[in-house]
Amino acid sequence: MNLCPNCGVDLGDEARACPLCGVRVGPDADKSEPVIHPLPRIEPLFDPDGKGNFTPREKLFITREVITVCMAIAAGSAAAINYLVSGHLTWSLYPVASIAFVWLCVGFPLYIPKRPGVALTVAALGLIGFLGALDLIDGPNYTWFLDLGLPLALSIEVFGIGTVLAVVKARRKGLNIVSIILFGITAICLSIEYLTDRFQSGEVHLQWSSIVAFALVPVGIFLVYIHLRIATTTSLRKFFHV
């Protein structure tokens, strides 16, 4: 008879432990329990409390630092490769200028989140500076910036900012927002073709931009009409008689 040495329970012949108290019996009785060592605790890098909760200020700090460092590495790598291969900077000036402009539009506003007007002004001036830098990279003197690049930048910024202000200041926001955006896109396209035609040949022949205008303007007018009708009716069901 196989009895438990601790509690005296009758065990089967093949039992290796008492089902009541858990004491080992038989050939495994003299073996010690394996020691389990817990894994060391690894402290999180950015999250000391381990809950994965970042404050808005911490998220903003991490985002802007990552964007700035990544863009700096990309610009520095392009410049270093160009200098090591050619002995001077040539083609790398284009990506460096482009990355700098993108940082002004994306990274810089994160450092002044409560001053969007300043960020918008810097981005607008950055576009003008970017186009001027591209022209100077092409040659020692300005060739197309003063006659084409600067007017293009100013027209895009004027119509773009005007569109944004019109959307923001709209008292009743609805389909009129879409129509405002369509009108802004049309104005930008017309100004782009007008300025490029005048720069290339001195004669203005609006072709592709006129197609854009004929496609977008009627849609915008129709959306304004629907928006005004909805403002005077109670619902879309009454307007469409459904």
| Tokens found for residue 33 | 């329990």
Check whether 34 has a pLDDT greater than 60. no
Q: Are strands 2-3 and 10-11 parallel, antiparallel or unpaired?
A: antiparallel
Residues 6+ positions from 69 with CB-CB distance below 8 Å: none
Q: Give pLDDT, residue 173.
A: 83
Per-residue pLDDT tens digits for 178-235: 999 999 999 999 999 999 999 998 888 999 999 999 999 999 999 998 888 776 665 5
Tokens 């495994």 belong to 28
User: Where does the pLDDT of residue 43 fall: very low under 50, low under 70, confident under 90, or very high at 90 and above?
Assistant: low
Q: What is the DSSP string of 31-78?
A: PPPPP-PPPPP---SS-TTSS----HHHHHHHHHHHHHHHHHHHHHHH
CA pair distance 79, 67, nearest whole angstrom: 18
| Domain segments of the chain as ranges | 1-31, 56-143, 146-242
pTM recorded for the entire structure: 0.66
Please, are residues 181 and 163 in contact by the beta-carbon 8 Å criterion? yes
- Give 174 or 67, the one with higher predicted confidence: 67
Per-residue pLDDT tens digits for 60-103: 999 999 999 999 999 999 999 999 999 999 999 999 999 999 99
